[in-house]
Structure 1
Amino acid sequence: MAATPPPFARFEWMIAWRYLRARRAEGGVSVMTWISLIGITLAVFALIATLAVRAGFRAEFVDTILGANAHVTVYSIGRVDERTGRIDRSIPDYQAMADRIRDVDGVTRVAPLIKGQVMANRGTYNAGIEVYGIAADDLKTIPRIVNAETGLGDISRFGEGIAIGSGVARELGVTVGDKIKVISPNGVKTAFGTSPRVKAYEVVYVFSAGRYDIDRVRVYMPFVEAQQYFNRDDTADELEVMVKVPEAIDALQLDLLRAGGNGTQLWTWRDASGGFLRALDIEDNVMFVIMAILVLIAAMNIVSGLIMLVKNKGRDIGILRTMGLTEGAVLRVFFICGSLTGMVGTAAGVLFGCLFAYYIDPIFGLVNWMSGGQAWDASIRGIYHLPAKLQAGDVATAMALSLGLSFVVTIFPARRAARMNPVEALRYE
């Protein structure tokens, strides 16, 4: 007795390959095969490109947050000033508090800050700015601010002037070596009231943090100079704290509160940007669902192509069945036809998607040039370029989704072919 051939035997692959290559005149559906193949390729390409841009945008956004801002800011609840009746939130013992917080396990840096919102002027140009008073040694440890590749000027001269964001420099039309006036409405108190304080500072450093909203308003001033300018005698407004693992900041909050003492408040980077990050999560999920539907629509083209193939090959199926081919063998033949289309389309889509993510900068540069430089507005999107981060998990997800859908939708027309009655198929032949 002859041995039963194993599933997916060589002859099954041979028949399936012949059907895929068949011309329309021979009863094949090569045009539908190409349409299915191109559809799967474009769908997988779009899915991988979307996942890469999504991951890149999140990584860039979080990196600019953690690289240019405090991981957690320590405030004082405040006390009522008996002279003015206002709440004074300054920290008089900021050095002692900074030393206590610096001893907390996981903290890498603590920097006292003076903060104030004022106006900058150069000639006929004005800009609203936010001044950060900080010590020179502390400023040099902020990676997104002090960066030799993006910065302009000599940061070692910080004690002689101020460091401004690239957006502020562009707004005022200044560069390193120029002087700007810093104007505060809360200045010197005289017998006739409070007169604005105006002081000129040399720009010694221009930084680019990678975020439009930071570069557009932020200015760094030496800590002692900021104390004098904003009338903060021997006090600090807040403490800027950096930690080893920013994602685990919630676990450090209790220790930081204890080290800060009574009347301490914390504001973490998650508190500052949590709403935007949650919005990104919702957008990510919605985009993934939309792209998955796109892949499903592309996979449905395989079904229509296979149904036409089964209809055209009814005579062949009847002959093969009378020759002894089992229902399982017929099912596998047409399953191979559909799954091969899905696999080739998925492989091509993965290739193009990975190439798009890898070469996104020149591609985006071309699109931006063709659109006249209006393809990306940093003032709206916050960052200066379209980022992409290719992750193995995203590529694997796209491949699994595409292959899974391709295999599933192929089963139904393949079963129809397998259950075809050979007598009915050959009755009118």
Structure 2
Amino acid sequence: MSGGPPPLGGNVQFTESGERRIEWAARAMPVLAAVGARFADERPLDGLKIAACLHVTAETAVLLGALRTGGAQISLAASNPLSTQDDVAAALAEYGIAVHAKAGVDRDTYYRHIHNALDLAPDIVLDDGCDLVNTLHTERVELLPGVTGGCEATTTGIIRLRRMETEGELRFPMVAVNDTRIKRMFDNRYGTGQSTVDGIMRATNTLLAGKTVVVAGFGYCGRGVAERARGLGARVIVTEIDPVKGLDALLQGYEVRPMAAAAEVGDVFITVTGNRDVIRREHLEVMKDGAILANAGHFDVEIDVRALEGMAEAVNPDVRPNTDEYVLPDGRRLLLLAEGRLVNLTAAEGHPAAVMDMSFSAQALAVAWLVRERERLAPGVYDVPGEIDAEVARLKLAAAGVQIDTLTADQEVYLRSWRLGS
């Protein structure tokens, strides 16, 4: 297996730091360890080349280790330069994975790294946000015939993939890993909820108790953020465009307002929608002095940073780590966290490893399923089979020493029959 040189010059101490991070994450990922052991025996990915555009973190490294154990050759680009852990990238390169990632690179370098990963001429692709798949379909079309499928692990990416599918542009099958029950319930709700609040508190050291926190979007991620903020004593306002989700938020006890009304009273704003321009100029114009702006959606488009820059008469960068202060002509100061990028992966460390254990186990098993089924799958977006969700949950419960009930023979008959009633 070929790999690239360590991205920061092969600094041994730096590589060891990455290895320690990966080992620490692996301790909390017993399900992925079990999947990796199975892959070592079965070798379901032998001879396959995987190009990945993922967050370069210790948890991702554990996933890639399982896939490599299964026989895959891997080339990795970063899905977000601000979340890249350079010491982990160095350690991965030493493990034999070709790594094209460095923290803080500009947009042009970000896309060059995606092209570098695609130079592997992959059979399978893994994406966080659909930028790699989009690049394949627009700039690297010569590689499309060799790609048999892939996985997407974000809400934003799946929205883009479904649009490609609707327009007849998607050229191979993609598995919507983000849409599994395991991913939505645990990764999106508990992982995003905890890590987003963690990022805001690290960046600002603000006390959330007594603050008004505005959460834009009440999907699984938004629910998790709202729950954690309320649990810390905040008054939470939810903004939504979906009437069903808005009603859900209302019945869970949250205030529901349009952003125009919430902007006037909020102390902390958190966008979690997967859409753009959720916080716009007209909202920024009425916000309080000292309002905190954070994004936990995938891309840095949910807060209109360009509008904020145009409004400001001065910008004080890094008033705290990952906190930039924008001073408006009337003296108000708005605090933008993580440049409008993912606050949980930039100002904090992303989801706890115990959460990613489940999401990445589902992704690894989805890759193996895709390889088995690829000959019969037409281009399109596919849900992860339910049995994978159930298997991951069973393994996680077993690792926690928890047992659950099983159906009796009579119960199974009852559930299978439409003739049996009360």
What TM-score, normalized by structure 1, do the two folds share? 0.22
Higher helix share: 1
Specify which structure has the bigger relative contact order, considering alpha-carbon pairs within 8 angstroms and separated by 6 or more residues. Answer: 1
What TM-score, normalized by structure 2, do the two folds share? 0.22
